[in-house]
A and B are shown apart, each in its own frame.
Chain A
Amino acid sequence: MISVEELCTLIGSRITWGRGEDARSLDADTPLLEMGLVDSLAIMEIVTALHKEAGIVLPDTEIVAANFRSPKALWNAIENLSGEVRK
């Protein structure tokens, strides 16, 4: 299990922040895609980190824009994963 806050921290650590910005500005509703915060590389890093750090395997079918709109959207997607795919 992972909380929304933990997920925000995990996502925030995979974003290259500019000066004057930082991971603490990220909350559950931050529009990750609209703000251009994550690109394809960051998405793959988030997927890898979910697996390594939280034991969550996000199947390819869930790596879609709708699930990366915001940390909350990703958290909901993780919550909805069936028991078999979650380690």
Chain B
Amino acid sequence: MTAGTPVRLDALLARSARAHPDRTALEGAGERWTYARLDRAVDALAQRLLETGVAPGDRVGVHAPKTPATVIALYAVLRAGAVAAPLDTADPAERTARMIRNAGLSLLLTCDRALAGAHRAAARARDGVPADEGSFEHGLHWLRVLGPRERPAPLPAPTDAGGYILFTSGSTGWPKGVLLSHENVAHYALWAAAEFGLTPEDRIGSQAALTFDLTTFDLFSAAAAGACTVLMPDVLRAFPRDVVGWLAEQRITAFMAVPSLYHNMLRQGGIADVPLPDLRLAAFGGEAFAPEPLARYLRLLDGVSFYNLYGPTETNACTYHRVPADWTADRELPIGRGIGGVHIEVLDAQGRPTDGEGEIHIAGPVVFQGYLRGGAIDDPTVTVTCRDGVARRAYPSGDIGRITRDGVVFLRGRRDNQVKRRGHRIDLMDVENAVLELPRVAAAAVVAKGDPHSGQIWAYAQTDASPPEVLAALRDVLPKRMLPDRVVPLTALPTTSSGKVDRRALSEAAGHPAAPALLEEITA
């Protein structure tokens, strides 16, 4: 790769197909695909997509569970010069329809098993008008969501030549499409392949959903190195013991997951009793690893490299820290320093570099192009003058942190209403909007609870509907992970002296003496 020529994600696959045609590129659903065969299948499907009317820069949703056919579909969209948007088949149709509209997807690719759900989502996105459809090889189907005349305005370079869309929870109740260029993703994928020393001997265990940014490593770093991506069946994800067994059986050498899964594999999955002689790399990201379990892992999996990765979907992973083998739970774990080519800056409220706490800003080739809203790009990046005096385009992450003189970053919290659940980012306003949109709700506030319900999301609503009715209605519009843990009907929401909803009182209600009235309603 020469500097100056941005790398295409599908070119990583093509290059490995030339270098290692007979090596296994992909395993899953009982199938095994060599690099040469995978690359040919991608070429053929890309051709079919073009014949079906897909043009470079079009946005194509891939609404299918994680199988080799789905990976072929993603790569084929990329090779056709279009923008690939993985979608979660478990999301409610209404949510998927909002993604389709916001990102301006013109075609959906789906499979037999997910076809009914794709029909529902497409119909909602088209106000009930059925979509044209047809089928491809590998059990794939296409649905045309937007006709040639309904296409949104073309995307500006570089995404006019394709890219990747991942969705994130927004504050408006509409998932935001995070638009990444080939280079945004490839820069990270190539960095990770080099930093982790991936080789064609590696077997990369891919456990997360393809809608989750962790999986760009599983697919594209593997392709960069000529390694094998092993797809874990979706149904195992909720069972830590099955995940541990799968890691052992599949002889996985490199694995990336959210700390929640590592915690559960230790607590409940029996990882302490299962030898994993092939595992050499364990990376985690998306949330904080609890110190005690991490220290235990370091003792348990002696010789395995543990990496802490940090980065919002908007920037891929952009900082890294290799956990020292002798790390102990009493030491603070940093999110580390910027990956190659990435600048991290911490700015105070006035936008000046600070040695104290401030907002983490991220600059470099991993920073996304912007959000897709109503099919158009909205770029939230700002120009930041870094402490070296250079002005750079940077993404304000909303995360609060501190940076040391030698560039190591420590994470301190959030500036806004975002919370994390098993590595998934959830904007409380997204949930609140969903509650407010329900016909029988007059007012609502959704808060993250403090002790003793720490980690829970509760919805307080002024409504004549019962909590189960509210939850059932929310189930139609929100993914399961975003559902409130509890719905509390109130006759009126508490307000502060300035008349705003008193979110602090609600967060602390139950178990806080200052809110006895609320306590009564909750336990009633």
Chain A interface (Cβ < 8 Å from any Cβ of B):
16-19, 21, 33-34, 36, 38-41, 43, 60-61, 63-65, 68
Contact = CB atoms under 8 A, between A and B. Distances in A.
Contacts of A16: 471-472, 475, 480, 483
Interface of B: 89-90, 92, 233, 235-239, 241-242, 245, 264, 268-270, 422, 471-473, 475-476, 480-481, 483
B472 A19 contact: yes
Nearest to B421: A41
Contacts of A43: 238-239
Contacts, number: 53
A18 B239 contact: no
Interface of A is mostly: loop
B238 A39 contact: yes
A16 B469 CA distance: 10
10 contacts: A17-B475, A18-B92, A18-B472, A18-B476, A39-B481, A40-B422, A41-B480, A65-B235, A65-B236, A65-B242
Contacts of A34: 235
A20 to B, nearest CB: 9
- Residue from A17, A40, A63 whose CB has the most chain B CB atoms within 10 Å: A40
B90 A40 contact: no
A62 B309 CA distance: 32
B1 to A, nearest CB: 40
A17 B235 contact: no
Given A16-B471, A16-B483, A63-B268, A38 B476 contact: no
Contact of B238 (A17, A21, A40, A60): A40
A61 B241 contact: yes
B480 A63 contact: no
B239 A63 contact: yes
Contacts of B236: 65
Q: In this complex, which of B92, B241, B245 has the most chain A Cβ atoms within 10 angstroms of its Cβ?
A: B241
B258 to A, nearest CB: 11
A5 to B, nearest CB: 21
The list of the 7 closest CB pairs from A to B, nearest first, reads: A40-B238, A18-B475, A33-B235, A36-B90, A65-B239, A60-B268, A18-B476
Nearest to A62: B241
Most buried by B among A16, A34, A61: A16
A70 B269 CA distance: 21
Contact of A60 (B92, B270, B483): B270
A37 to B, nearest CB: 10
Given A18-B476, A34-B235, A64 B241 contact: yes
